Structure 1
Amino acid sequence: MVDIPDSLQCLVTASVTEQAGSYRIEIPREEVERGELNAGEFYRVGVLTHTGASSPSESPDTDIAPNATPQEPQVPPVDEGEVREVTIETLGEKGDGIAKVERGYIIIVDGGQPGETVTVNVHTVRQNVAFAEIVADDS
């Protein structure tokens, strides 16, 4: 299980690239421009392995070539006020349910329990994470 702390500022999918003898993971410009992150500050970074396709070019989630810069950022696959059914996969650090939807996008569900399939109302949407409340327990 992956614990997602409340201090999570940004969640991105990126490739590791080599540049000038070191390795780099790039954070999208939008994360800094929106004020979620500040250039020049230090952040802890967790790296999770990608399961599924063996390389980004084989991934069904993207048609961007490896090491290419996307022209437009992907929009979150959910909207504020949207009601949808999700399955809670794990619990976060504070006990909230964690569900994943399209492209691995995370929805944090207040009161969700692992294994539950629930209908939620999405109340807050960020570029890489959304927050929702349960409106019906479907399990």
Structure 2
Amino acid sequence: MSGSGLRSGQLADAAGVNLQTVRYYERRGLLPSPQRSPGGHRLYPADTVTLLRVIKTAQRLGFTLDEVADLLAAGRRRHGDRSGLQARARDKLVEVEQKLADLTVIRDTLRAALSAGCDDLVACAASTCCPLPFAGGTT
């Protein structure tokens, strides 16, 4: 690929990320080390745009960068076998569903606090009608 490829800024623009993201992902090993131009510029193959988009999409789905790295490594090892992604996606879905359940409880508790007219946390904690779940209680 001598002389061809995308420079860092071109890659970042094409993938919709900033230059620091490209460099960070490279340091983390999420992106392969690029070739260098005779002038020392990083030159990335065009398919690196897709790889960056995959990483960002996985992050939006709730995967951490460590989990993304594992997914990418599993994909390279399996060559088309999606069982690694399937298992990890199922695990992530369970995690997301638990977070949604937790957020639903928080939402409902906040609604109850608003309905009860809670205006002061200390006064509310002493009230028997306060819906907020103060830890420990006053027994």
* TM-score normalised by the chain length of structure 2: 0.23
Higher relative contact order (CA 8 A, sep 6+): 1
Q: Which has the higher strand share?
A: 1
In proportion to residue count, which structure has more helix? Answer: 2
Larger radius of gyration: 2
Q: TM-score, normalised by structure 1?
A: 0.23
